[in-house]
Amino acid sequence: MKRADPKDQDAADKWEVQLRKGCLELAILAALWNQKLYGLEILRRLESDSDLIVSEGTVYPLLSRLKALELVRSEWVESDAGHPRKYYALTPAGKQRALDMSKTWAGFSSSMSKLLAPLGKGK
Amino acid sequence: MARIDGDAQQKIDAYLSRLRARLRGINEQDVREIVEELRSHILDKASVGGEEVTAGGVGGTLAALGSPEELASEYMTDNLLARAEVSRSPVRILASLFRWASLSIAGFFAFLASIVGYLLGVSFILCAVLKPVHPQTAGLWILPAGSDDFLISLRLGFGSAPPGARELFGWWIVPIGLVAGCGLMMLTTRFGLWCVRHYRRSRGLPLGQAV
């Protein structure tokens, strides 16, 4: 079998990075759907419930932006560990954004699956 | 409560201090929140069995966060984008586009087009406002530049009109200048907001960071 050219492999990796990054906002909103979580819990939730391998340096600035856009709100809560933790929860606007994004995702995913069906048969 | 050893504390403080120094332009309250949230994250992640925070654990945690410079850059970009998205202020829009301009050619042209749009809009408005002050010289002028060639010049009325020049519109420059100037400002703002949203959607690879 022909091995992938390193340049092709690099392009595929970049595409995957972009795809994952594009999903991150929806994934965070979904993780907060029914509960409030702090940053590290969100990271662990994303890692355990999805294939998103998330860089910590990406999630915290994104949470900060979601807060500035008033899609999430935050509060500091004292913990047994001896330091406070910043918990995030969805605002009504955040819930609406999550619903809108999830509808778009479902439509997109279903049409892509139709398009990709012949590739599965051709294995 | 986890015990923090001296070296670990020093590493955390040095990292957060470098980060804080690079969060220029973000308000003090937000900077404090960012720093305290990251301190909390580092302590949670680096503690061994929830009992001791070691220098080794802190080193690994800080490496996973990336350098303070990269992290600050992510915060700065996200902060500017968020503020620009909910604002119609030309200054915020231009600040976001300037950041995009430093990352890509497309951003450079978007920034350039927005600067030209705003400058032209402001010039039309100023021309309309200054016409009553300099009625003989402020306005839109046609200047001869050769046998079949000419130049159009928007003059605010400072200095005298060039020889051979002919004024267009006369006093009509007041309403025309106000409408054209305000229209250009609005169109440029819409264009700038569209660019900011497009930039936000496309952001990812230009910064070269893994998810």
Interface residue A26 vs chain B (CB under 8 A): no
List the Cα angle A86/B14/A67 in 5-degree steps.
25
Mutate to test the interface with B, among A64, A66, A79 (most CBs of B within 10 A): A64
Closest-CA residue of A relative to B74 is A61
User: What is the model's pLDDT at position A2?
Assistant: 54
Contacts of A54 in chain B (CB under 8 A): 211
Prediction ipTM score: 0.83
Contact A68 B86 (CB under 8 A): yes
Tokens of A20: 């994952």
Cα separations (Å) of A114 from A105, A107, A121, B124, B188?
14, 11, 12, 54, 41
Residue B84 has pLDDT above 70, yes or no: no
Nearest CB neighbour to B82, from listed A24, A65, A82:
A65
Give residue-wise pLDDT tens across range A32-71.
Answer: 999 999 999 999 998 888 777 778 888 999 999 899 888 9
Name the one residue in this structure whose structure tokens are 């900060």: A64
Residue A30 has pLDDT above 90, yes or no: yes
Cα dihedral B39, B200, B204, B118 sign: negative
**Domain limits of chain B?**
1-65, 87-211
Domains detected in chain A: 34-116 (1.10.10.10)
Interface residue A38 vs chain B (CB under 8 A): yes
Residue B88 has pLDDT above 50, yes or no: yes
DSSP sequence for B88-151: --HHHHHHHHHHHHTT-HHHHHHHHHHHHHHHHHHHHHHHHHHTTTSTTT-EEEEEE-SSS-EE
Residue B207 has pLDDT above 60, yes or no: no
- The angle, 0 to 180 degrees and rounded to 10, between the axes of the packed helices B68-85 and B173-202 is 140
Interface residue A58 vs chain B (CB under 8 A): yes
Closest-CA residue of A relative to B51 is A81
Closest-CA residue of B relative to A18 is B204
Residue A86 has pLDDT above 90, yes or no: yes
Contact A81 B44 (CB under 8 A): yes
Contact A56 B64 (CB under 8 A): yes
Give residue-wise pLDDT tens across range B142-201.
Answer: 777 665 666 777 777 666 666 777 777 778 888 888 999 999 999 998 888 888 777 766
pLDDT band at B41 (very low <50, low <70, confident <90, very high): very high
End-to-end Cα spacing for chain A: 13
Tokens of B152: 């159009």
Average pLDDT taken over every residue of chain A: 87
Closest-CA residue of B relative to A24 is B211
pLDDT band at A22 (very low <50, low <70, confident <90, very high): confident
Give residue-wise pLDDT tens across range B49-74.
Answer: 667 888 888 898 999 999 999 999 88
